[in-house]
Amino acid sequence: MSQSIALITGATSGIGEATARLLSKNYRLIICGRRTDRLEKLQKELSTETRMLSFDVRDKDAVFEAIQSLPADWQEIDVLINNAGNAHGLDLIHEGSTDDWDAMMDINVKGLLYVSKAIIPGMVERKKGHIINLSSIAGLEVYTRGNVYCASKHAVDALTKGMRLDLNEHSIKVTSIDPGLVETEFSEVRFKGDSKKANKVYLNYTPLKAIDIAETIEFVLNRPPHVMIGDLLILPTDQASSTVVNKKS
C-alpha cells in the first residue's frame, strides 16, 4: 500500500516548511508556494517522493490548473493543509491601505477556498480525508490595529466550522489550528520587510517556533480514525491573549 499524500500550501517558509520536513517521514508530499527556488531547494532536501506546484493561491485559474496537472497517481490527496496566509500592515481602520486589505482577504480567505474547492470533491468521492486550516488567535479575538487581518482569520474560523458541518456525512475530518505568537517571516511581511521592527515583536519572551506547530499538526493527523480534533489554540507560555504577553523587561 502506497503512502498517503499530503498537500501543503505556503511550504516555502515557516510553518509550512517545518510541516513538510516533519511529514516527509510518513507521507508523499505536494509542496506548494510562489517562490519556485525555495520549493526546488526543499524538494531536494526531503526524504520522500515529492511533487512541487508553484502558484499564487490568489490566482483561481492557476490554482486549478496546477492541481489538475498532477499525475493520476498523485490526484488522491488524503491530507490538505491550508497554511498559506499573510498579514499586511498594522493600521487603524480609517488609515488602512486597500491594497493591504485585498492581499489579506484574497490570500487568507479566497485562496483557502480556491485550494479547498480543487481538492475536497475528490475527498468526498472517496469518503475520506483530513483538512487542516491554519488560522490564528486573531480568528478568535480582535485587537487594536488588527481589524482586517482579524476579520480574515475570523472568516477562516467560520469556514472551518462550515466545512466540518458540510463534510460530516462524508467522514472527512476538519481541523483548525490557531497559533499565537510564532517566530517566522510573518512579522517581516506585516511590516513590509522592516526587519528591525519585525524582530522587536519577538523580544524579551519566548515565542513559539514553526516546529512547534508542525509537531502539533503531526499529532492531529496521527489520532485514531474515530478521533477528530476540531479546534486547537496553541500559545507560548508567555502569552495569555492577543495583547497580553509576559515580556521580561
**Catalytic positions:** 149
Contacts of 64 (CB under 8 A, 6+ apart): 114, 118
Which of 100, 63, 69 has its CA nearest to residue 82?
Answer: 63
- Mind giving me the DSSP string for the chain? -PPPEEEESSTTSHHHHHHHHHHTTT-EEEEEES-HHHHHHHHHH-SS-EEEEE--TT-HHHHHHHHHTS-GGG----EEEE----------GGG--HHHHHHHHIIIIIIHHHHHHHHHHHHHHHT--EEEEE--GGGT---TT-HHHHHHHHHHHHHHHHHHHHHGGGT-EEEEEEE--B-SSHHHHHTTT-HHHHHHTTTTS--B-HHHHHHHHHHHHTS-TT----EEEE--TTBSSSS-B----
